[in-house]
Amino acid sequence: MPERAFTAGLRLDRVRLNISESTVRRLSFYLRILEKTGDAGVDTLSSEELAERTGTTAAQVRKDLSLFGSFGKRGLGYAVPQLASELREILGLDRTWRVALVGGGRIGSALFEYGGFRHRGFEIVAVLDADPAKVGTIWGDVVLSDISNLEAVLRAESVDIVVLTIPAEAVPDVLDRVVAGGVRGILNFAPVQLRVPSDVTVKDVHMVMELEALSFALSQTGGE
């Protein structure tokens, strides 16, 4: 058995361990369940219970967590608040992320008004749009900026993450400027493939493609 070094319960050797996207998605889910059951007063959960509530298997839960350390007690399970706190640290949610919303249209404003982001530490510190009728309007406690000021705003507000909710045609231009502005995390809602340097991370929300996947699934099973 190889010896291991721990820091606050986190493996040091995770530095270059490759964590898969599916593992990360599940970690988010575990955290959500832990917070919910913690609020309900439960203080211990087994991998089996966590798996059942998140729609996976007990072995998967244990494997996912073991990539980062040993957080459970054999014979007992996982201490809910402790594990939640470990997961927050692992996911980088033990800090505030400064987010700029680029595109103040239908999706953009729905996101802006949604409380679920701030609650998780994602603070919208700027909103930008190209529409002169929108520039200067007050959004909560920020003033909507003109897209021409993009670079200045990104710098002035130390933006970590940009949420792109602009039409597909407008993406390439704006994307280049966002990347040039030093932003290394992008959440994209436009139905296009984003081309970015390898040190920039993009996550896509492709609702139409999800619907198309539903269409495929329904066509398959319905046709027999």
Ligand X SMILES: NC(=O)c1ccc[n+]([C@@H]2O[C@H](COP(=O)([O-])OP(=O)(O)OC[C@H]3O[C@@H](n4cnc5c(N)ncnc54)[C@H](O)[C@@H]3O)[C@@H](O)[C@H]2O)c1
Partner DNA sequence: TCCATTCTGTGAACGAATTCACAAGGGCCT
Partner DNA sequence: AGGCCCTTGTGAATTCGTTCACAGAATGGA
* Interacting residues with a second copy between 168 and 207 (CB under 8 A): 184-187, 191, 193, 195, 199, 201, 203-207
Give 5's contacts (C-beta < 8 A, 6+ positions apart): 11, 12, 13
Match 């575990």 to its residue by tokens. 30
The option from a second copy, DNA, ligand X, none interacting with 46 (CB < 5 to 8 A, set by class) reads DNA
* Interacting residues with ligand X between 123 and 182 (CB under 6 A): 128-131, 134, 147, 165-168, 170, 174
Rounded Cα distance, 68 and 154, in Å: 33
CA dihedral of 140, 145, 149, 153, whole degrees rounded to 10: 0
Which listed residue (41, 55, 75, 115) binds DNA by CB under 7 A? Answer: 75
Rounded Cα distance, 165 and 5, in Å: 43
**Is residue 33 a contact partner of residue 46, using CB atoms and an 8 Å limit?**
no
Which of residues 72 and 108 has its CB atom nearest to ligand X in the complex? 108
Give the residue from 162, 66, 155 showing the smallest Cα distance to 108: 162
Q: Name the site residues for ligand X (rule: CB under 6 A).
A: 102-108, 110-111, 114, 116, 128-131, 134, 147, 165-168, 170, 174, 189-191, 207-208
Q: Name the site residues for a second copy (rule: CB under 8 A).
A: 15, 19, 21, 24-25, 27-29, 31-32, 53-55, 90-93, 97, 106-107, 109-111, 113-114, 116-117, 120-122, 160-161, 184-187, 191, 193, 195, 199, 201, 203-222, 224
